[in-house]
Amino acid sequence: MTSNGRGAEEAPDEGPDHHEYPGYSDPIVRWWTGGPPRPVPPPLEINTVPVVATTTVLWFVAFLVLLPFRERMAEAGNGDWVWVCLAAAGLGLLGTWYCVRRDQAIRRDAQRRDDQRRDDQRRAATERTPGTGRQPGSGTGTAGTESSGDQGA
């Protein structure tokens, strides 16, 4: 037996794929999946505020629909349903507040990253081409033609 209490024949595979894709070394898993695992897609970014707000409104509507039947539901042993709907609507309000704050923070962070990227690009452009401002009498262009025009007058 090894130090972990397992026999040598029970030791897990130690290949590079073992930790990234647990169970992929199993031949049945390989047969079932049909090959190597596909890459994980990027997370889907959606506006969560309408989803959470709509669900909250639906829970509150369910509360209002069940409220007149509260006593009858209590007699049938389902009296908690009304309060479950109200609690869900309250948690939905909290979730809506959270989603609004999260979206604001994401927008602020994106704006901050864009501003930082623009500043970095400007800084890199000025460091890459120092002295881009023209000094009088140096180089070619209008400065050279003015000096030759002044001599002829």
Which ranges of the chain have pLDDT less than 50?
Answer: 1-4, 6-13, 15-19, 143-144, 146-149, 152-153
Q: Could you please report the per-residue DSSP string of 22-91?
A: TTTTSHHHHHHHTSSPPPPPPPPP--HHHHHHHHHHHHHHHHHHHGGGHHHHHHTT-THHHHHHHHHHHH
Q: DSSP secondary-structure letter at 6?
A: -
Residue 64: both structure tokens together: 């209002």
Alpha-carbon gap, residue 47 to 44, rounded angstroms: 10
Model pTM? 0.54
Tokens 């506006």 belong to 47
Those residues whose C-beta lies under 8 Å from the C-beta of residue 53, and which sit 6 or more positions away, are: 92, 96
Cβ pair 52, 92 in contact under 8 A: yes
Cβ pair 19, 52 in contact under 8 A: no
Nearest to 59 by CA among 84, 80, 42: 84
Q: What is the pLDDT of residue 22?
A: 57
CA 107 to chain centre: 11
- Written as one letter, the residue type at 122 is R
Residue 42: both structure tokens together: 């990027």
Q: What is the pLDDT of residue 76?
A: 93
Those residues whose C-beta lies under 8 Å from the C-beta of residue 8, and which sit 6 or more positions away, are: 2
Q: What is the pLDDT of residue 45?
A: 85
Q: What is the pLDDT of residue 10?
A: 46
Q: Where are the domains of the chain?
A: 48-125
